[in-house]
Amino acid sequence: MSASVGTVETDTTSSSVLSPQSSVLLSIRDVEVAYSTRKGIFRSGEVRALNGVSLDLGRGETVALVGESGSGKTTLGRVSLRLTKATAGRVVYDGQDITETPDSELHWFRKRAQIVFQDPFSSLNPYMRVYDLVEEPLVIDGVAGRDERLARVERALEAVELVPVRRFGEKFPNMMSGGQRQRVGIARALVRDPEYIVADEPVSMIDASSRIEILDLLRGLQDTRGVAFLYITHDIASARHFADRIAVMYQGTIAELGPAGVVIDNPLHPYTKALIAAIPEPDPNNRFHHRAVVPGEPISGGPIPPGCPFFARCPNRMPGVCDVQRPVLTEQEAGHFVACHLYP
Amino acid sequence: MPLLDVRDLYLYYSSAGRTVRAVDGISFTIEERGEAIGVVGESGSGKTSLATALMRLLPKSVSRFDGSIRLDGQELRELSDEEFRRQIRWRRIAMVFQGAMNVLNPVLKVGAQVAEPLLLNDRMEKKAARAKVEGLLERVGLPREIYDRYPHELSGGQKQRIVIATALVLDPDLLILDEPTSALDVSVQAQIMNLLKDLKKDPGISMIFITHDIGLASDLSDKIAVAYAGHHAEFGPAERVLIEPRHPYSQLLLASLPRLHETERPRPMPGEPPDLTNPPAGCRFHPRCPYRFEPCDTDVPPPIEIGDGGHARCWLNDEYVAGDRFLIHLKQEAGLVR
């Protein structure tokens, strides 16, 4: 049993099994996020962005949330930052339950947990210089003394390799490339010295040739500063190289979870297998073969099916089992979990 | 005779006294029917402008449009805009635009949208048009009944199939696809790529496939052009470009891709993307190139022929200019030299 999940009670999905090697920083238990949809005056529906997700994140660990649009990966990131409130379940950060804490009492948490947004073109105020953009969080935090703030801004810019700092500090966002802008976004998160960062598709808007630099930079922050990352991406190949563990999400649930290399080289869930088979790697022989595909597309909205969310598309589905009972995450080998009835 | 032969194509835009050389001397050929060419490049490399030039959908800011575009031997540059519109665009060369699935008319049945050119341009009878479209819908993997549906009733993958059917309705020889799967999830992307592979074979449509993803390009392309700052850094058979690239940019691009089943970490590309209004002198890639030598910062490398029908704009491929450095990037990659 994981000792550091704090006030969370043990539940059916077990707690230790989802834990990383290091001590737990963030613990998410059976989280649901439901939105009501009005379909008429009397009828009301419900859409579940998350449907019972449990995950632990260790100090200095990177977990990649991999999945297609609508899988709930961004919602899970937002729930972990308390930007979205869970409608059920618990979120525990460093031993403190923050699920229901009022915003006015979350200042301590807001300083320690940060987010890097997907789009470095729209997430930076175009009328502010880099210095001011990176200083802003410190002003909001009420860090007194301009010298102190400037010193921290310069340290953050150095950490993201926007050097010489004095030259980049004077620039406006439109004077920089996408990769450089994203470094500013990272510096804004870093200037508060956080121990946890949610990086939501941090490189998907950046040219391929600049992506690795940014991911290397994030990886470096993990190594040198011990920052823990939730790396949200649809690019499972990048997750292999920049995350310690991968959680594959499908329609609001975690389908598979394990060490990054293990999940990719030895996928267990039929959805993970399909996801990996669908990715074309540069190979001149690709064009001579059809790619193995699963039929259909993820369904968004609509009622929540009682069984496995992948049932309708699954090539290995077992009617009478998979459409009746929801599979829970079970450990198949050390640290490798799958939610699938094929693996009892 | 090649189906498409593009020679020394130029397309420049000018505004506010600044000129962007989006297509700056590009040559390539599509030899046979059913051949697909992948054009791979980052944003601003000029890959979409190439499509714009081939479709002759030129914005007002165009300040230079030069070169030769031969389709089945016919010089398209000699046609007037009106002749091009009547004879070539959509009939011979069709295009799937990036994001087209999001601009389907929401109040028109999707089948009617596909049938529109048949009714308006070809004056086909309604019944015949419907029959043709229904056949086409099946060809792109949709049920006939989808004819009477509206766009909002369709999934993303189904909408993209409708867009492809729309491009194919006048039986073009050449289909240009600009990032046709960028809005789709990877499992749906694979379904669309399988469809495109089928269409290459039957009815044998040639394709120009524009993408930033060189892996995706390899899923369809017989030949690959690697676009960089308005040039094709390299062009040739997929086997060579993907396995033994002759331009350091292609080589570094491939090395920077995270691979699924390799433990080796991807290597970052050095330097920053070029400023297209003020591209570097000499080779456009020289400021980022680890192999640059004496002529690279002053002399623009021409498309140096490789001997497999392709070319590379890199001095390392010129034995006379490069001397001892001849193909040093390949030898280094193979571990033959340090």
C-beta atoms surrounding B217 within 10 Å: 28
From chain A, the residues in CB contact with B228 under 8 A are: none
Q: Does residue A12 have a pLDDT over 50?
A: no
Whether A290 has its CB under 8 Å from any CB of chain B: the answer is yes
Q: Does residue A69 have a pLDDT over 60?
A: yes
Q: By CA distance, what is B271's nearest residue in A?
A: A210
pLDDT of res. A18: 60
The ipTM value here is 0.90
Whether A293 has its CB under 8 Å from any CB of chain B: the answer is yes
Query: How far is B207 from B19, CA to CA, in rounded Å?
Result: 30
The string of pLDDT tens digits covering residues A323-342 is: 999 999 999 999 999 999 99
The answer to whether the beta carbons of residues A58 and A22 sit under 8 Å apart is yes
Give SS3 for B6: strand
pLDDT of res. A42: 63
Whether B207 has its CB under 8 Å from any CB of chain A: the answer is no
From chain B, the residues in CB contact with A210 under 8 A are: 269, 272-273
Whether A174 has its CB under 8 Å from any CB of chain B: the answer is no
Are the beta carbons of A213 and B269 separated by less than 8 Å? Answer: yes
Average pLDDT estimate for A58-72:
93
pLDDT of res. A19: 60
Partner-chain residue, chosen from B186, B215, B237, that has the shortest CB–CB distance to A282: B215
pLDDT of res. A2: 38
pLDDT of res. B148: 97
Instruction: Report residue A44's pLDDT band, with 50, 70 and 90 as the boundaries.
Output: low
The string of pLDDT tens digits covering residues A133-186 is: 999 999 998 888 999 999 999 999 999 999 899 999 999 999 888 889 999 999
The answer to whether the beta carbons of residues B311 and B324 sit under 8 Å apart is no
Are the beta carbons of B215 and A281 separated by less than 8 Å? Answer: yes
pLDDT of res. A14: 41
Query: How far is A85 from A110, CA to CA, in rounded Å?
Result: 15
pLDDT of res. A208: 79
Joined together, the tokens standing for residue A275 give 């996801």
Average pLDDT estimate for B250-264:
93
Of B208, B262, B222, B35, nearest in space to A286 by CA:
B222
Are the beta carbons of A277 and B257 separated by less than 8 Å? Answer: no
Are the beta carbons of B42 and A209 separated by less than 8 Å? Answer: yes
From chain A, the residues in CB contact with B243 under 8 A are: 284
Average pLDDT estimate for B235-248:
96
Please state which CATH number belongs to domain A3-281+292-333.
3.40.50.300
Q: By CA distance, what is A208's nearest residue in B?
A: B42
Question: For residue A234, what are the contacts with CB-CB under 8 A and spacing of at least 6?
Answer: A66, A67, A68, A69, A201, A204, B185, B186
Q: By CA distance, what is B250's nearest residue in A?
A: A209
Q: Does residue B335 have a pLDDT over 80?
A: no
Question: For residue B148, what are the contacts with CB-CB under 8 A and spacing of at least 6?
Answer: B109, B111
Of A49, A35, A40, nearest in space to A300 by CA:
A49
The string of pLDDT tens digits covering residues A188-213 is: 999 999 999 999 999 988 887 789 99
Instruction: Report residue A13's pLDDT band, with 50, 70 and 90 as the boundaries.
Output: very low
Percent of chain B topping pLDDT 90: 84
Percent of chain B topping pLDDT 70: 99
DSSP B47-62: HHHHHHHHHT---TTE
pLDDT of res. A301: 64
pLDDT of res. A40: 65
C-beta atoms surrounding A2 within 10 Å: 18
Cα B154–chain centre separation: 27
The string of pLDDT tens digits covering residues A208-267 is: 778 999 999 999 999 999 999 999 999 999 999 999 999 999 999 999 999 999 999 999
Residue A229 to residues A65, A107, B327, Cα–Cα distance (Å): 10, 20, 42
The answer to whether the beta carbons of residues A120 and A158 sit under 8 Å apart is no
Query: How far is B56 from B58, CA to CA, in rounded Å?
Result: 6
C-beta atoms surrounding A151 within 10 Å: 11
Instruction: Report residue B332's pLDDT band, with 50, 70 and 90 as the boundaries.
Output: confident
- The pairing of beta strand B62-71 with beta strand B4-15: antiparallel
Q: How far is B328 from chain A (nearest CA, A)?
A: 22
Are the beta carbons of A234 and B220 separated by less than 8 Å? Answer: no
pLDDT of res. A20: 63
Percent of chain A topping pLDDT 90: 75
Average pLDDT estimate for A58-80:
94
Give SS3 for A68: coil
Burial class (CB in 10 A: 0-12, 13-18, 19+), A174: exposed
pLDDT of res. A95: 93
Query: How far is B338 from A334, CA to CA, in rounded Å?
Result: 42
Whether A208 has its CB under 8 Å from any CB of chain B: the answer is yes
The string of pLDDT tens digits covering residues B190-221 is: 999 999 999 999 899 999 999 999 999 999 99
Q: How far is B311 from chain A (nearest CA, A)?
A: 18
pLDDT of res. B338: 58
Instruction: Report residue A9's pLDDT band, with 50, 70 and 90 as the boundaries.
Output: very low
Q: Does residue A127 have a pLDDT over 90?
A: yes
The string of pLDDT tens digits covering residues A83-115 is: 999 999 999 999 999 999 999 999 999 999 999
Q: How far is B320 from chain A (nearest CA, A)?
A: 31
From chain A, the residues in CB contact with B216 under 8 A are: 280
pLDDT of res. A194: 96
Q: Does residue A16 have a pLDDT over 70?
A: no
Q: Does residue A8 have a pLDDT over 50?
A: no
Q: Does residue B134 have a pLDDT over 80?
A: yes
Are the beta carbons of B215 and A68 separated by less than 8 Å? Answer: no
Q: Does residue A5 have a pLDDT over 50?
A: no
Q: How far is A287 from chain B (nearest CA, A)?
A: 5
The crossing angle, in degrees rounded to 10, of helices B248-255 and A208-225 is 40
Q: Does residue A46 have a pLDDT over 80?
A: no
pTM over 0.95, yes/no: no
| Residue in B142, B187, B192 to test binding to A, most A beta-carbons within 10 Å | B187
Burial class (CB in 10 A: 0-12, 13-18, 19+), B119: middle
The string of pLDDT tens digits covering residues B288-297 is: 999 999 999 9
**Interface list for B 253-292 with A (CB within 8 A):** 253-254, 256-261, 263, 265-269, 272-273
Q: How far is A1 from chain B (nearest CA, A)?
A: 32
pLDDT of res. A209: 78
